[in-house]
Structure 1
Amino acid sequence: MEFTEHDWIRFGDAVIDYEIKRSTRRHKTMEISAGPNGVRVAVPAITPSEEVAAFVRNKAHWILAHTAAPRASPEPSKLPSSLPYLGRQVNVVVGNGCVADVDVRFRPWELQVFLPLETDEAHAAGRARSAVAEWYWLRACEHVTTSVDRWWPDLGRDSMPEIHIGDQRKRWGSCAADGQLRFNWRLVMLAPRLLDYVVVHELAHLTERNHGPAFWALVETILPDVAERKRALRSVEGTLPM
């Protein structure tokens, strides 16, 4: 049996996205290939994700030499005047204040970002974006954990897995072979029903590893309107501002 995951690492100024092909027929070795179409790592099914990431990092110089120009971290731009949060638009107000470090405050429905008075204008945009991203990451930790707790009695297997909130650019979530769950912090920008759909989707993979009929039947027993939620999620892919 084979199944595929996606993950990424940051190496200097480059971000390396890679596809993990797990196979129950592979027992010991890990193999990597890299080219203009991307990076693929073939591993035994039970290989921990951290071990795969370490393998990719060890090969990073070779990968960058064999792929198209890597994606460099973009120069920070100013925050937009509004951002989505839990499916609603939030006004974003950035200013200077008597604060020791960047301070982000939420006043429904406004996100207030206060920069220290001495902040250099050249660094203001980057500091504001980083602080707002951290604020969203913390909210995602809260909401995703709450959602996992809600649906665990219906879909959980064995002990509660580790939950990681990351900065995946191409995926909302993933379920590793060892049961670890990874979620994109941008989920908290979506309506709660879409966040729940992603959580249920990944929890269902603890039972059904692929996207076959048995998988979708399981998801539908939990979320009868899964098809509509799936369409709604696709409609916002690629539209989030950060």
Structure 2
Amino acid sequence: MTVFRIGNREIEYTLRRSAKAKKASLSVTPQSFELLVPDGASDEEIGAVLDRRRGWIIQTVQHMEERAKAQTRVYQFVTGAKIPYRGRMARLTIEPFDGTLVEVGFRNGFRILRPRDLPPDSCDVIIESAIRLWLKRRVRDDALEFARRHSARHAMKPRGVQIKDQKHMWGSCGQDRQINLNWHLIFAPKPVLEYAVVHEMCHLKHRNHEPEFWDLVARLLPDWETRKAWLDKNEHMLGWEKVEPVR
């Protein structure tokens, strides 16, 4: 991490160099602040970019901190705890059973079956891991269905759809026509996930965000702005923070 100082405040950020970058650009997620620069950018040029954008940086970082404070906190994965799922909070019900692996199901809330002999000191970690795996499989299935539906209707077929733990974006579309999606989109309503899939599929025809790109998005999803607005407003809901209980 690199540090940018504004007055007495130190703000950590990630500096990333790219041979493909033609100019400097800033990006943020609820967890990070990144500066992307061309490979040959000097320290003076990087400092000039940060100085020009210092007002935007401080405002955005404060906004990120407020969002982080609002993020769902889970102290223990026990009956009664809640995690976000498809735009709302879903309750967990944990039940012991005679199996050997944690089983996850959903019907008006999560029903988690845990082995009776699961060691208490590792129970939380194993249950959380099982939930994450289940969620990643579900968002993959949903995304593939949206991709199939829209590719059949609009003749835009990606090479494949991969679910990743992306830190700086909700999705991307590679030159190889491979679409990548952030697994945290499972925490958003299904129409928002559909928007993310359609957004990346439209990059198969338009590699930028010029008006032609947004015109295509609008043809596929006339209410795309409402869906995007939900994503922009509710970033803090897309995940949880595991907090160790005070002993």
The TM-score by the shorter chain falls in which range? 0.5 to 0.7
CA distance in 2, matches of 1:37, 1:92: 35
Gaps of 5+ in 2: 1-13, 23-32, 40-73, 241-247
Look up the match of 2:224: 226
Instruction: Compare CA radii of gyration and give the structure with the larger one.
Output: 2
Q: Assess, with a 3 A threshold, how the Cα gap between structure 1 residues 40 and 179 changes in structure 2: closer, same or farther.
A: farther
Gaps of 5+ in 1: 1-15, 25-35, 43-75
Look up the match of 1:144: 143
Look up the match of 2:128: 129
CA distance in 2, matches of 1:238, 1:17: 24
Look up the match of 2:113: 114
Q: Select the structure with the greater relative contact order (CA < 8 A; seq sep ≥ 6).
A: 2
CA positional deviation for 1:95: 3.6
CA distance in 2, matches of 1:136, 1:160: 22
Q: What are the residue-to-residue correspondences of 1:23-42 with 2, within 5 Å?
A: none
Look up the match of 2:176: 178
CA positional deviation for 1:41: 8.2
Secondary structure of the structure 2 residue equivalent to 1:99: coil
Q: Assess, with a 3 A threshold, how the Cα gap between structure 1 residues 37 and 88 changes in structure 2: closer, same or farther.
A: closer
Look up the match of 1:169: 167
* Residue deviations 1:44-77 (CA, integer Å, cap 9, x gap): xxxxxxxxxxxxxxxxxxxxxxxxxxxxxxxx95
CA contact (8 A) 1:90 1:110 kept: yes
Match of 1:206 among 204, 207, 212: 204
* TM-score normalised over the length of structure 2: 0.64
CA contact (8 A) 2:162 2:179 kept: yes
Q: What are the residue-to-residue correspondences of 1:16-27 with 2, within 5 Å?
A: 22=20
Look up the match of 1:59: none
Counterpart code for 1:210: N
CA distance in 1, matches of 2:227, 2:209: 16
Counterpart code for 2:117: E
Residue identity over aligned pairs, in percent, reads 27
Q: Assess, with a 3 A threshold, how the Cα gap between structure 1 residues 120 and 164 changes in structure 2: closer, same or farther.
A: same
